[in-house]
Amino acid sequence: MSRPPLPPFNRETAAQKARMAEDAWNSRDPVRVSLAYTEDSRWRNRSEFFQGREAIAEFLIRKWTKEHDYRLIKDLWAFDQNRIAVRFQYEWYDDSGQWHRSYGNEQWEFDEHGLMRRREASINDIAIKESERRFHWPAPGPRPADVAGLSENPL
């Protein structure tokens, strides 16, 4: 299975890979998202460590059961050969109705087929008022082309 664009990455292909990941995550489809990773992909997400597509899908099911009305923007930070770093923000609300904005960074490593074999994510959450939300496009679904990325949005 091949998942273009393939490494080695340049600025354009690394940004394309980041946007493809953003679109997949905004689908909130755990199986679709898991197919971008190798069968034995290793993950660190916050303080959780796990391995493999099945564990990835299970994690995403738990995540999106807790994080309602999830909307995400990823922004290319750096790239080199088969590695990409992104920064991201996403908004969601919990079971009590409290809105949150989560800020984070991810480091990705890809195999020669363009599948992610390693993902490390560091994430912090802040509570926000609903009136402070910035991400309002219809969800689930990709961020529309006319909605600015993080480079155009202040922190």
How many Cα neighbours within 13 Å face the side chain of 20? 19
Alpha-carbon dihedral sign for residues 153, 124, 97, 90: positive
How many domains, in total, are found in the chain?
1
What span, in angstroms and rounded, lies between the C-alpha atoms of 140 and 84? 25
> 79-125: per-residue pLDDT in tens?
999 999 999 999 999 999 999 999 999 999 999 999 999 999 999 99
Domain contains 145 = no
- Here the CATH number for the domain that contains residue 50 is 3.10.450.50
* pTM greater than 0.75 (yes/no): yes
pLDDT confidence tier of residue 155, bands split at 50, 70 and 90: low
Domain contains 19 = yes
pLDDT of residue 136: 96
> 31-67: per-residue pLDDT in tens?
999 999 999 999 999 999 999 999 999 999 999 999 9
In 3D space, the residue among 19, 11, 13 whose CA is nearest the CA of residue 114 turns out to be 13
Range of the domain at 33: 11-135
